[in-house]
């Protein structure tokens, strides 16, 4: 049994408006499975293929109040492309953001609802990821996170160090999942989280039990009205275990 990262879930006060922003940023298509939910994926994409990690925006009334522990890094192909993308993002409604990054070659920005993301300088490693270079998770122990997520999913762990770790689909396509050590302490429910999905034919209850044995926990909320399972990773970050597909 195994799972794979298929999408990130992002809470939004206006899911449709924020969905339009991110669709413009990524050049992706927009769909909806119902009121208050906006789905983004590449045009012509066959979900859930490994070539992309999709985005689901879900309406929630609460405003963002703290720095997100999960964010996107956008890829660029040249210094000129990076500058052009930053300028285009500003025209779309993004703003520059200061999260204490100091003098770095990438540009930290925030979308219209304040969600942080980075526009990276060109890096060879991200030349074939598509517009999203990486999904980045803040953590206190990248090694431990890489151990958990490396066993939770069938993705390949590429690099592990004290301050960062990275992994990618075993197919060698799509964005990376990266864990970066930060001093920040998790506060409240994450507005952005990972959604993972078992493969068709897998037993979801057995998969949940396997994840719990690896170190996943129950967030302690009523889940009787939903068809998926909400769990937390070893550092308390919520994630969803979707139905097999």
Q: Which residue has the tokens 């990690």?
A: 53
Residue 106 has pLDDT above 80, yes or no: yes
**Mean of the per-residue pLDDT values of the chain:** 97
Tokens representing 152 are: 């939770």
Tokens representing 189 are: 């429910």
Which pLDDT band, with edges at 50, 70 and 90, does 33 fall under?
confident
pLDDT digits (tens, 9 = 90+) for 158-192: 999 999 999 999 999 999 999 999 998 898 899 99
CA atoms of 39 and 9, how far apart (whole Å):
9
pLDDT digits (tens, 9 = 90+) for 187-242: 889 999 999 999 999 999 999 999 999 999 999 999 999 999 999 999 999 999 99
Record the pTM. 0.97
152 close to 211: Cβ distance less than 8 angstroms: yes
Model pLDDT, residue 49: 96
Q: Which residue has the tokens 């979707």?
A: 242
Share of the chain above pLDDT 70, in %: 100
Residue 1 has pLDDT above 80, yes or no: no
Cα–Cα distances (Å) from 105 to 119, 121, 123, 203, in that order, read 9, 6, 11, 45
In DSSP terms, 12 is beta-bridged to 59
Q: Which residue has the tokens 């003098």?
A: 103
Which pLDDT band, with edges at 50, 70 and 90, does 128 fall under?
very high
DSSP 62: S
Q: Which residues contact 176 (CB under 8 A, 6 or more apart)?
A: 125, 126, 129, 133, 134, 135, 158, 166, 167, 168
Helices (H), the chain: 15-26, 79-92, 142-152, 204-214
Model pLDDT, residue 16: 97
Task: Tell me if the bond preceding 48 is cis, omega within 30° of 0.
Answer: yes
Q: Annotate 121-139 with DSSP letters as a single string.
A: PP-GGGTTS-SEEEEEEEE
Longest dimension (CA), the chain: 51
pLDDT digits (tens, 9 = 90+) for 48-80: 999 999 999 999 999 999 999 999 999 999 999
Q: Helix 142-152 to helix 204-214 angle, to the nearest 10 degrees?
A: 160
DSSP 35: T
**Burial, 62: exposed, middle or buried (Cβ in 10 Å; 0-12, 13-18, 19+)?**
exposed
């Amino acid at each position: 049994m195994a799972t794979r990262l298929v999408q990130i879930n992002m809470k939004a006060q206006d899911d449709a408006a924020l969905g339009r922003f991110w669709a413009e940023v990524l050049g992706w298509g927009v769909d909806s499975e119902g009121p208050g939910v906006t789905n983004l994926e590449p045009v012509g994409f066959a979900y859930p293929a490994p070539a992309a990690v999709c985005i689901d925006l879900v309406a929630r009334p609460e405003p963002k109040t703290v720095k997100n522990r999960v964010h996107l890094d956008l890829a660029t192909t040249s210094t000129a492309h990076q500058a052009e993308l930053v300028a285009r993002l500003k025209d779309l409604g993004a703003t520059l953001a200061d999260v204490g990054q100091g003098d770095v070659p990438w540009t930290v920005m925030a979308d219209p609802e304040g969600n942080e993301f980075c526009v990276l300088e060109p890096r060879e490693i991200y030349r074939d990821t598509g517009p999203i270079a990486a999904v980045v998770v803040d953590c206190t122990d990248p090694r431990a996170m890489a151990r958990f997520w490396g066993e939770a999913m069938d993705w390949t762990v590429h690099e592990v160090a004290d301050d960062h770790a990275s992994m990618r689909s075993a197919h060698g396509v799509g964005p990376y999942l990266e864990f970066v050590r930060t001093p920040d302490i998790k506060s409240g429910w994450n507005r952005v989280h990972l959604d993972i999905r078992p493969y068709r034919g897998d037993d979801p209850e057995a998969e949940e039990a396997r994840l719990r044995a690896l170190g996943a926990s129950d967030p302690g909320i009523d889940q009787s009205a939903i068809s998926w399972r909400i769990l937390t990773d070893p550092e308390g970050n919520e994630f969803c275990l979707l139905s097999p597909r």
